[in-house]
Amino acid sequence: MLEFDQELARDLEVIKHQALLRRLSRVDSAQGTCLRMEGCELLSFASNDYLGLAADAALKEAARQAVQEYGAGSGASRLLCGSLAPHHTLEEALAAFKQTQAALSFGSGWAAALGAIGSLISRNDVLILDRLAHACLVDAARLTGAKLRVFAHNDLADLEALLQWAVARRADQGVESHARPMRILIVTESVFSMDGDVAPLVPMVELKDRYGAWLMVDEAHATGLYGPRRCGVIESLGLGGRIEVQMGTLGKAVGAAGGYIAGSRLLRDLLVNRARPFIFSTAPVPAAAAAAQIGLDLIQGERGARLTRLLWERVAQFEEAAGRIPLHRSSPGASPIVPVIVGDEQRALAAAAALRAEGIYVPAIRYPTVQRGKARLRVTLTAAHTAAEVERLASELTKVLG
Ligand SMILES: *Cc1c(COP(=O)(O)O)cnc(C)c1O
From 47, 193, 236, 335, the catalytic residue: 193
Q: Is 193 a catalytic residue?
A: yes
Give nearest CA residue, ligand 1 atom 3: 109
Exposed e or buried b per residue across 24-55, where buried means at least 16 C-beta atoms within 10 angstroms of its C-beta = eeeeeeebbbbbebeeeebbbbbbbbbbbbbe
Q: pLDDT per residue over 178-212, tens digit each? A: 688 999 999 999 999 999 999 999 999 999 999 99
pLDDT for 329: 82
Order of strands across the sheet that contains 259-263:
102-106, 259-263, 245-249, 214-218, 184-189, 126-130, 147-151
User: Regarding beta strands 360-361 and 364-365, do their DSSP bridges make them parallel or antiparallel, or are they unpaired?
Assistant: unpaired
Average pLDDT, integer, range 166-174: 90
- Rg, Å, the chain Cα set: 22
Over residues 13-38, mean pLDDT: 94
Query: What is the predicted pLDDT for the residue at 177?
Result: 59
Report the C-alpha dihedral over residues 89, 94, 100, 105, rounded to 10 degrees.
-80
Q: How far is the CA of 398 from the centre of ligand 1 (A)?
A: 30
Span from the CA of 220 to the centroid of ligand 1 (angstroms): 6
Q: Is 252 a catalytic residue?
A: yes
91-139 residue pLDDT tens? 999 999 999 999 999 999 999 999 999 999 999 999 999 999 999 999 9
Which residue's C-alpha comes closest to atom 6 of ligand 1?
109
Whole-number percent of the chain with pLDDT over 70: 99
Q: What angle do CA 12, 17, 19 make, to 5 degrees?
A: 100
Per-residue pLDDT tens over the stretch 230-252: 999 999 999 999 999 999 999 99
- Cβ atoms within 10 Å of 145's Cβ, excluding its own: 13
pTM of the model: 0.96
State in Å: Cα 325 to ligand 1 middle: 28
Whose alpha carbon is nearest atom 7 of ligand 1?
109
Calculate the CA 293 to chain-centre distance: 18
Taking only the tens place, the pLDDT of each residue in 47-95 is 999 999 999 999 999 999 999 999 999 999 999 999 999 999 999 999 9
| pLDDT tens, residue by residue, 289-313 | 999 999 999 999 999 999 999 999 9
Residue whose C-alpha is closest to residue 366's, from 8, 18, 11, 12: 18
Strands 126-130 and 184-189: parallel
**Ligand 1 pocket member 109 (CB < 6 A):** yes
Q: What is the residue-averaged pLDDT of the chain? A: 95
